Amino acid sequence: MFEGWGNFYFLLGSASASLIGLMFVVTTLTRGRDRSKVERGQRLFMTPTVFNLPAVLTLSAVALTPKLTPGVHEAVMALGGAYGLGYALVIGWQAAQLWRETKSTTYLSDVWCYGIIPPLIYLALESAILATDMIRDLACNGVALCLLALLLIAVRNAWDLVTWMAPLANAPPTDQSVT
């Protein structure tokens, strides 16, 4: 189904895998911070970014898997895309709730990039996957563009996290054990 796309998916999967490793390094920047504040931020910002990167890696690996029938490619990718869409919708709802609660401290661009754009990408991905039976070439292009968009939004969000967290890493840690 994805004949001729090998280099593209290899590059996309490799970039995603590298960024997953870097995200684990980024999590160390939360050391010494107030746990209750860090947990909500991780759930709404860090975890979705880390979720989207393995989604790109996994779907790229599926596209590169030899000897799968087009039906198996479609089924596995549709399942992954549906799971990603469901998760992205939950995160989108939570990001919108956070923005309503804290309009003065939460940037609207974060609501868009963490909460609105990823579900739209997963929806487009599902549409492209489901269109493979009708217009295979166009659907393959759609899947590729959606995975690239998902990787790019994850890169943007990872950069957003690093630029927000790095200055906090230099601040004196709060010691929760002292009462």
For residue 176, is it within any domain?
no
> Rounded CA gap, 169 and 32, in Å?
8
The pLDDT score that the predictor gives to residue 82 is 92
How far is residue 166's CA from residue 174's CA, in Å, rounded to a whole number? 16
For 61, the token pair is 């690996």
Instruction: Please tell me the distance from the alpha carbon of residue 35 to that of residue 130, in angstroms, as a whole number.
Output: 42
Q: What is the pLDDT of residues 61-87, one digit of tens each?
A: 988 888 888 788 888 889 989 999 998
pLDDT of 144 over the 80 cut? yes
Q: Across all residues in the chain, what is the average pLDDT?
A: 80
User: Is 178 domain-assigned?
Assistant: no
Would you call 31 exposed, middle or buried from its count of C-beta atoms within 10 A (0-12, 13-18, 19+)? exposed
Q: What is the pLDDT of residues 23-75, one digit of tens each?
A: 877 777 666 666 666 565 556 677 788 888 999 999 999 888 888 887 888 88
Neighbouring C-alpha atoms within 13 Å toward the C-beta of 84: 30
Residue 174 lies in a domain: no
d(CA 106, CA 113): 12
How many domains, the chain?
1
How many angstroms separate the CA atoms of 71 and 137, rounded? 15
> How do residues 94-127 score in pLDDT, each as one tens digit?
877 877 777 655 677 777 888 889 999 999 999 9
Does residue 148 contact residue 55 with C-beta atoms inside 8 Å?
no
Q: In whole angstroms, what is the distance from residue 119 CA to residue 87 CA?
A: 8
Q: Show Cβ contacts of residue 124 under 8 Å, excluding neighbours closer than 6 positions.
A: 142, 145, 146, 149
Is residue 177 in a domain? no
pTM: 0.80
The verdict on residue 175 lying in a domain is no
Confidence at residue 101, expressed as pLDDT on a 0 to 100 scale: 78
Mean pLDDT score, 170-179 = 50
Domain span at residue 151?
6-167
Whether 72 is covered by a domain: the verdict is: yes
* Residue 54 belongs to some domain of the structure: yes
- Backbone φ, ψ for residue 10 (5° rounding): -65, -45
For residue 26, being part of any structural domain is answered with yes
